[in-house]
Chain A
Amino acid sequence: MQIGKEKLLWMYQTMVEIRYYEETMAAVYMEGKLPPNIQKGLAFDIGGGPVPGEMHLAAGQEPVAVGVCAHLCDHDTVVGTHRPHHFAIAKGVPLGPMTAEMFGKVGGLGKGKGGHMHLFDPAHNFSCSGIVGASMPIACGAALAAKKMGKDYVAVAFFGEGAANQGSFHESLNLAALWNLPVVFVCEDNQWAISVPKNKATSVPSVAVRAAGYGMPGVHVEHNDAVAVFEAAGPAIARARSGQGPTLIEVKTDRYFGHFQGDPESYRPKDEVATLRTKDPIGLLAQLLKAHHMMSDQEQAALTAQAHQKVIGAFEFARASAYPQAQDALADVFARNHADTRELV
């Protein structure tokens, strides 16, 4: 598959942005969570600081998000996971409101009600869920809606390799193939379902082989490489868009941080992450771009600075946004009813 320079540079810059976002968040997240300003005897307080609660970061997994989203438009749907930032950024979710949501501020995507696992941006058709395997049925629904409305929109469900053992995976693949839905299932295989390695939880070495059982193509991407993901995702999305039905793609990728920030990771070999980082996908793409004279050192510096600035601006926006009023907690349980003004077909 031909990839234009513009797409390659977009993938590179977006990966830089994601990485810097996750690293910034990793640092900010630790504010207010360490001794001595927490309950005596604790090593860490998950509920403390400006960004409380669980935090699942996607550093290392950038190629999956950019390689797939490079093929998508705003009207295509993406449903992400509990580790959603890279998908959201690659889908074009505005960074300021996304970050403000994680700070629990009124300027957040959900006015502070959702938090980092529950980001909703209808304008970009992005959502995610903290429940393992929950993305797949919802993406099937978006695909079903596109089909019913006669649009050529596609939906992408991202999920981890652990979710491939959930009932929702098997039910969704069957439904999507049966109804010929324009959906692409993208499995991020980072080898770890919290502490349980893939080979202790999954009956087959590759999730992609399960596609055959549901009558759809299964594609395995062996390397954590944006170009390889782009090349695998292109035909799958084109297939869906042209009404030929769903595809399952599995990408081997790498989780650099713990399952959540603060995870002791005692289950993981000590030098595993250091080894993984030696073949970092951002560096690999930079090498490729330079080898093909598509990016000079100067251009790289400019792209990087621009991406970093965007992230810094988002965190400034989040910090400056106000907290909601306590009473606001009682609103939004139900949507407000408006008179139905749709043009009926």
Chain B
Amino acid sequence: MSTPRILTMAQAISEGIAQEMSRDSAVFVMGEDVGSYGGIFGATGGLLDKFGPERIMDTPISETAFIGAATGAAAAGMRPIVELMFVDFFGVCMDQIYNHLAKNTYMSGGAVKLPVVLTTAIGGGYSDAAQHSQCLYGTFAHMPGIKVVVPSNAYDAKGLMITAIRDDNPVMFMYHKGIMGLPWMAYLEGSSNAVPQEAYTIPFGQAKVMQEGSDLTIVSISQMVQKAMLAAHELQGQSIHAEVLDLRTLVPLDTQEILKSVRKTGRLLIADEDYLGFGLSGEIAALIAENLDSIVLKAPVMRLAVPNVPIPYSRPLEQFVIPQVHSIVQAAQALTVGKMAQART
């Protein structure tokens, strides 16, 4: 038996794109620095050499034009993958995204199909400050009409990317910089894992139980899943058994898996790198509140997220506002304090 092939998330994403481009001539890539640079975060590495500039197209810094063009090209039968470097930059072209890409299918009564994959980098942790460190997946999930995919590891990233390309709807594919496995940025190594050579798909809307546990459920997504796994390991040493759930996609959201886990553990911690207010953590807390007839909570729901401030530049400030492994551990300890007290008596 051969040893499994370990890929970084960046490698897995570009491999997934390459396999779909070989299979389907309608698939093409456009965006800033996707060509000879291979994407600033490596998501299109090697694609220009394989497919040439007709299918791997560098664009001007004209996001309204090229993202709008992706909508138009998709309506006309192509399957564009469009990259825009940092999610923070979508501000300049949001109208094309939320008033057109996200709505044209609905407004046409389903007559218009828009198979577009929008790829972008998210997340902080390396002092890139307020305009280059946001997650914002909650913003896109808030607006109907776009599927939102946020992988935490290479295996999932490839399968989810292939599913995204084959989906007949707009998909926002958001990769956290701190798990891409770049040679120039520290990353959480759990994100690089075994990736099969052949193409495969992972269905949207299926959360993954990363680790089973009985004391509390930690619901998370993206890089925060890797932090939650490290926290869960540490908690294990303190006899706190955390179940870690990776949502993988926000739209569609696997509500059943969340409910199932919380029914089992009775305690919920949501660990999120997006803003606290009006976002993912509130959505999941609401889901629990709406199902309290079938859940017995042993402690109130707890949320960890960025406390409604822009991401500060200075390292001690940034490390404070973004939930860290130690803050997940502390929150889990606080949530399970009743259980620990019981165990002692």
Contacts and interface: CB of A to CB of B under 8 A. Distances in A.
A323 B309 CA distance: 18
Given A54-B132, A329-B309, A333-B309, A113 B317 contact: yes
Contacts of A196: 32-33, 35, 58-60
A118 B62 CA distance: 22
Interface stretch (B99-107, B122-130, B144-152, B163-171): B122-130
A333 B184 contact: no
Interface string A292-333: 000000000000000000000000000000011111111001
Contact of B132 (A44, A48, A130, A267): A130
A150 interface: no
A327 B32 contact: no
A39 interface: yes
Contact of B309 (A48, A101, A130, A330): A330
Interface string A132-173: 110000000000000000000000000000110111100000
Given A45-B185, A131-B89, A267-B37, A113 B313 contact: yes
B131 to A, nearest CB: 4
B28 interface: no
Nearest to B319: A326
Nearest to B186: A39
B178 to A, nearest CB: 9
Which residue among A325, A329, A333 has the maximum number of chain B CB atoms within 10 Å of its CB? A329
Given A42-B183, A54-B128, A262-B184, A165 B314 contact: no
B16 interface: no
Contact of A104 (B40, B61, B132, B314): B314
Contacts of B61: 132-133, 162-163, 165-166, 193, 201
B300 interface: no
A46 B184 contact: yes
Contacts of A168: 92
A47 interface: yes
Contacts of A162: 60-61
Interface in B36-61: 36-37, 40, 58-61
B242 interface: no
Contacts of A28: none
A329 to B, nearest CB: 4
Nearest to A53: B127
Contacts of B58: 195-196, 200-201
B330 interface: no
Q: Mostly helix, strand, loop or mixed at chain A's interface? A: loop
Contacts of A101: 313
A205 to B, nearest CB: 14
B24 to A, nearest CB: 26
Interface residues of B, number: 44
Interface in B293-325: 307-310, 312-321
Interface in A96-123: 101, 104-105, 108, 110-115, 117-118
Interface string B179-216: 00001111100000000000000000000000000000
Contacts of A193: 32, 60-61
B320 A333 contact: no
Interface in B1-56: 32-33, 35-37, 40
A330 B321 CA distance: 8
A327 B315 contact: no
SS of B interface (majority): loop
Contacts of A131: 88-89, 91-92, 131
B130 A118 contact: yes
A43 B129 contact: no
A193 B60 CA distance: 8
A127 interface: no
B316 A326 contact: yes
B307 A43 contact: no
B333 to A, nearest CB: 20
Given A53-B126, A195-B35, A47 B313 contact: no
A193 B34 CA distance: 12
A194 interface: yes
A329 B184 contact: no
B314 A327 contact: no
A44 B309 contact: no
A202 B319 contact: no
A195 B62 contact: no
Contacts of B309: 329-330, 333
Of B36, B184, B310, which is in contact with the most chain A CB atoms at under 10 Å from its CB? B184
B64 interface: yes
Given A52-B126, A112-B312, A118 B131 contact: yes
A47 B320 contact: no
A13 interface: no
Contacts of A165: 60-62
Contacts of A104: 127, 313-317
A130 B186 contact: no
Nearest to A129: B131
B127 A115 contact: yes
B130 A114 contact: yes
Contacts of B185: 42, 45-47
Interface in B315-343: 315-321
B33 A44 contact: no
A52 B129 CA distance: 10
Contacts of A238: none
Given A47-B185, A112-B312, A113-B317, 7 more contacts: A44-B184, A47-B127, A53-B132, A108-B314, A114-B313, A131-B92, A328-B317
Interface of B: 32-33, 35-37, 40, 58-64, 88-89, 91-92, 125-132, 183-187, 307-310, 312-321
22 contacts: A42-B183, A45-B184, A52-B127, A104-B314, A114-B130, A115-B127, A115-B313, A117-B129, A117-B131, A117-B132, A118-B129, A131-B91, A132-B92, A166-B63, A167-B64, A167-B92, A194-B33, A196-B33, A266-B37, A267-B36, A326-B316, A326-B320
Interface of A: 38-39, 41-48, 52-54, 101, 104-105, 108, 110-115, 117-118, 129-133, 162-163, 165-168, 193-196, 200-202, 262, 266-267, 323-330, 333
| 7 closest A-B pairs by CB | A104-B314, A115-B313, A47-B126, A112-B314, A52-B127, A326-B320, A53-B127
